[in-house]
């Protein structure tokens, strides 16, 4: 029997994107296979959020191509968007709905049950069940982030995108969320893009990393390189800080 290889969860090639005709991101290429947890790093204003907006179809590509689970985003946006779960910025959640209603809304769009998670009961694991029937407006930042994560996982999409989502979680929820990420990546059915400023945590959670500066991919670490950089305590963080300092000096 010949085993057919599943397409990469995400494959972006020479992506250019921006606003009002001005490119903020240019010539960025990388792929995220199922099983990968890719850290997306960069300073403030480096283009990380713009890149994620382009990948999730919220701004138009000015150049290049984005394929999600093998589906071209520009050609078939709805089909491509079925291939990823984005943990929405907590500030962008529909504040008047309850957490339960929000999960039902996302589940109805993804045509799955509102508890169709690939890793057990996420509400239970992240411990926010007692908030589910309260309006989201009454939630703390952390509870909103938990709701975002739970919604992103609904329907078990192959690509999961967390944009600073883990930052607002309490230590227990953060630990559990990272356990979910590792568990799903280990299953080989999901790939992750985790945008974060928390460089010290990257080697513990991710197996690859890319560093964006001035809209371009400046440096990338594959699994051995990431392991090597993290061999000494704080080694990876020091490498990222050195890159940021270099950028800062060049700008000055």
Partner 1 sequence: MTMPWGASGDGVILALLWRETVNGLRSRSRADLAWVFLGGGFLVVYGLADVTAVLHANAALARQSARLWSVWLPALGALLGVGGGPAIARLALGRARAPFLVAAPISLAARRRMAATVAWAAAAPPAAIVAAAVAGACAAVHKPDAVVWVCAATTAFLLGFAVAAGLAIRRGLRDGFGPETIRLNRPGRAHIALPRVLDAGRPAWIAAWAWRLQAGRLAISAPMAIAALLGAPIVVLAVGASVAQHRAVPATLAAVTAGFVAFAASLRFHPLASPVLRSAPITFARTWFRLMGLPLALSAIVYAAPAGAAVLAEPSQWAAPIGGGAWMLATEGAYGVFAAFFATSPALAMVAFAAALALSAYESAEFGQTILFLPLGLAVWLWRRAERRFRHG
Q: Which residues bind partner 1 (CB under 8 A)?
A: 19-22, 53, 56-61, 74, 77-79, 81-82, 84, 86, 88-89, 92-98, 101-102, 104-111, 133-135, 137-138
Would you say 101 or 198 has its CB closer to partner 1? 101
Tell me whether residue 19 or residue 175 sits nearer to partner 1 (CB atom).
Answer: 19
Q: How far is the CB of 180 from partner 1 (least distance, A)?
A: 20
Element (H, E) at 240: helix 235-251
* DSSP code for 170: -
State the minimum distance, in angstroms, from the CB of residue 81 to partner 1: 4
Of 189 and 219, nearer to partner 1 (C-beta) is 189
- Cβ closest to partner 1, residue 22 vs residue 250: 22
Within 13 Å of residue 244, how many CA atoms lie on the same side as its CB?
Answer: 14
Strand 71-72, strand 61-68: pairing: antiparallel
Least distance in angstroms from the C-beta of 90 to partner 1: 12
The DSSP 8-state label assigned to residue 7 in this structure reads P
Q: Which C-beta is closer to partner 1: that of 112 or that of 238?
A: 112
In 3D space, the residue among 16, 39, 45, 47 whose CA is nearest the CA of residue 192 turns out to be 39
CB 217, CB 29: distance < 8 Å = yes
User: How many whole angstroms from its chain centre is CA 111?
Assistant: 22
Element (H, E) at 193: strand 191-195
Least CB distance from residue 175 to partner 1, whole Å? 27
Would you give the distance in Å from CA 161 to the centre of its chain?
2
Q: What is the smallest separation between the CB atom of 55 and partner 1, expressed in angstroms?
A: 9
Residue whose CB is less far from partner 1, 59 or 65:
59
The minimum distance between CB 137 and partner 1, in angstroms, equals: 5
> CB of residue 31 vs partner 1: minimum separation in angstroms?
20
Q: Which is nearer to partner 1, 59 or 238 (CB)?
A: 59
Question: Which is it for strands 10-19 and 22-32: parallel, antiparallel or unpaired?
Answer: antiparallel
In the three-class reduction of DSSP (H, G, I as helix; E, B as strand; rest coil), residue 20 is classed as coil
Rounded (10°) CA dihedral 68, 209, 177, 170: -130
């Amino acid at each position: 029997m010949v085993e057919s290889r599943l397409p990469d969860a995400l494959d972006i090639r020479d992506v250019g994107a921006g606003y009002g005709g001005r490119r903020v991101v240019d010539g960025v290429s990388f792929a995220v296979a199922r099983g990968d947890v890719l850290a997306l790093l960069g300073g403030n204003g480096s283009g990380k959020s713009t890149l994620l907006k382009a990948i999730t179809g919220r701004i138009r590509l000015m150049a290049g191509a984005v394929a999600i689970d093998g589906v071209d985003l520009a050609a078939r946006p709805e089909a491509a968007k079925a291939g990823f779960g984005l943990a929405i910025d907590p500030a962008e959640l529909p504040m008047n709905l309850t957490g339960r209603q929000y999960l039902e809304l996302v589940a109805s769009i993804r045509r799955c049950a509102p508890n169709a998670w690939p890793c057990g009961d996420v509400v239970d694991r992240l411990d926010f069940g007692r908030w589910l029937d309260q309006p989201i407006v009454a939630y703390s930042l952390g509870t909103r982030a938990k709701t975002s994560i739970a919604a992103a996982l609904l329907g078990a999409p192959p690509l999961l995108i967390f944009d600073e989502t883990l930052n607002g979680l309490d230590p227990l929820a953060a630990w559990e969320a990272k356990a979910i990420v590792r568990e799903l990546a280990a299953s080989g059915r999901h790939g992750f893009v985790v945008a974060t400023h928390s460089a010290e945590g990257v080697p513990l959670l991710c197996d690859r990393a890319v560093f964006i500066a001035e809209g371009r991919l400046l440096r990338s670490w594959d699994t051995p390189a990431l392991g090597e950089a993290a061999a000494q305590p704080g080694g990876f963080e020091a490498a990222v800080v050195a890159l940021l300092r270099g950028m800062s000096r060049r700008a000055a």
